[in-house]
Amino acid sequence: MLASFGLRWGHLRTGVWWALLIGLGLGLAQLAVSRQRTEFLALVESGRAFWLLPLAFVLMLMTAAFTEEFFFRGFLQDRLERWTNSRIAALLLASIAFGLYHLPYAYLNPRWPSAGNWAEAWTAAMGQGVVGGLVLGTVFLGAKRNLVAPVVVHACINAFPATLVIRFN
């Protein structure tokens, strides 16, 4: 049953090293343009980031990254491909759904710059969410439908901002 969601024992490591590199690169790029980069750099300077970042990564692996990828890649993208008979259509539709899913976060989360502004929240959720969905869906396909690969990328991307949330002030 889990094999139909991208959890096949024979290839759980397929693409994971590339996923880790892609995820770290995207996470650092996101941090570089974030308004929270100075907060993160302060954690690095204090030395706390060296234990908080791995903790945030593990938490993201077990929560948002796994659950969202299980649904959007393992279930939705896979089923849409069977339904549409098109990898590209399935990738696009699942990515749009991923963007829509992030709309409430973009509007309601005070840590997002778009909080409280519907137009900015729509732009942020659809811009970042759809692009993120395209990247994660492409990683899923490139890793031969190995769900672990997009979970790792997703956890890396989320780990940097999550580190600031769990910093235990």
Domain of residue 135 covers 64-154
Residue 114 located in a structural domain: yes
Q: Is the pLDDT of residue 11 over 90?
A: no
pLDDT the model gives residue 100: 97
Spatial contact of 45 and 63, defined as CB atoms under 8 Å apart:
no
End-to-end CA distance of the chain, in Å? Answer: 43
Domain presence at residue 20: no
Mean pLDDT, the chain, as a whole number?
Answer: 91
Residue 128 lies in a domain: yes
Under 8 Å between Cβ of 156 and 29: no
Domain-embedded: residue 56: no
Q: Is the pLDDT of residue 168 over 90?
A: no
**Residue 91 covered by a domain:** yes
**Segment holding 8, helix H or strand E:** none
161 in a domain, yes or no? Answer: no
pLDDT for position 169: 60
Q: How many domains does the chain have?
A: 1
For residues 58-72, give the mean pLDDT: 96
If 0-12 CB within 10 Å is exposed, 13-18 middle and 19+ buried, where does residue 169 land? Answer: exposed
pLDDT band at residue 135 using 50, 70 and 90 as cut-offs: very high
pLDDT higher at 46 or 111? 46
- Return the pLDDT at 14: 72
How high is the pLDDT of residue 9? 59
pLDDT at position 91 is 98
pTM score, whole prediction = 0.90
pLDDT reading at 16 higher than 90: no
Confidence label for 106 from pLDDT (cuts 50, 70 and 90): very high
